[in-house]
Chains A and B, each alone.
Chain A
């Protein structure tokens, strides 16, 4: 029996390799996916982006409006307690106390 030439043998083996049986299904899924992306993504993307920008602007304006400048005069008056305790009392010298 004649022996097969190594080149012919390699080519025969490589030719016998079968592709994945799901190759066609995989291609169809990719094509479907690309179609969906093309038809729905731009509208959704632009709508989401517009809604996001509007929400951020609205939030910024609301926070800005909610800020009211509160005066702190009442607290300042309480801190200034000179009228409660007479500090002048401690200014007397020893000689003055004895008299």
Chain B
């Protein structure tokens, strides 16, 4: 069933159609949110909130853009709102992750080094300017084409290309002393 048909069914009161819609998009949205928050629990909570928001505001969807574009816009906005209101909590979580990661393949020192490297990369991604981060996450986590990213972000394809280029340069600058190119 196409998105348009599903939306018609949902607005007519068919909740089973909404379940189908969620099953279709849950992995994509979850991956996108993971790019912003990096923790499974938070990503699940936000994905859940996104679907509830979509259900409540589905009647406002005009069909001017693709449904998936509208869905990604809501997801990105809600993820950014979450990050803005949970800065302290996230700092504690990233420090906690350093001491709780366990791997059977690595010795404790390697484990700690690996956790520290992950923390630096996440920090570098999180410190990118908002638009660069949005473009980077949609491109790398969701592997969306530039045209689609441009539609989600309401920018031209050229602007998105520039944002991606700058994001790459910024990440290299921030990480090259410790991680390398």
Contact = CB atoms under 8 A, between A and B. Distances in A.
A27 B26 CA distance: 11
Interface stretch (B47-55, B70-78, B89-97, B146-154): B47-55
Nearest to A19: B30
A7 interface: yes
Given A27-B48, A27-B51, A17 B22 contact: no
Interface residues of B, number: 29
Given A20-B44, A28-B19, A14 B141 contact: yes
* Most chain B CB inside 10 Å of its own CB: which residue of A17, A27, A31: A27
Nearest to A35: B15
Contacts of B40: 17, 19
Contacts of B19: 24, 28
A7 B51 CA distance: 29
A14 B52 contact: no
Nearest to A20: B44
A6 B117 contact: yes
Interface extent on A, as a size class? Answer: 10 to 19
30 contacts: A6-B117, A6-B175, A6-B179, A7-B175, A11-B35, A11-B141, A14-B35, A14-B38, A17-B30, A17-B34, A17-B40, A17-B43, A19-B26, A19-B30, A19-B43, A19-B47, A23-B22, A23-B26, A23-B30, A23-B47, A23-B48, A24-B22, A24-B23, A24-B26, A27-B55, A28-B18, A30-B48, A30-B52, A31-B15, A32-B15
Interface of B: 15, 18-19, 22-23, 26-27, 30-31, 34-35, 38, 40, 43-44, 47-48, 51-52, 55, 117-118, 121-122, 140-141, 171, 175, 179
Interface of A: 6-7, 10-11, 14-15, 17-20, 23-24, 26-28, 30-32, 34
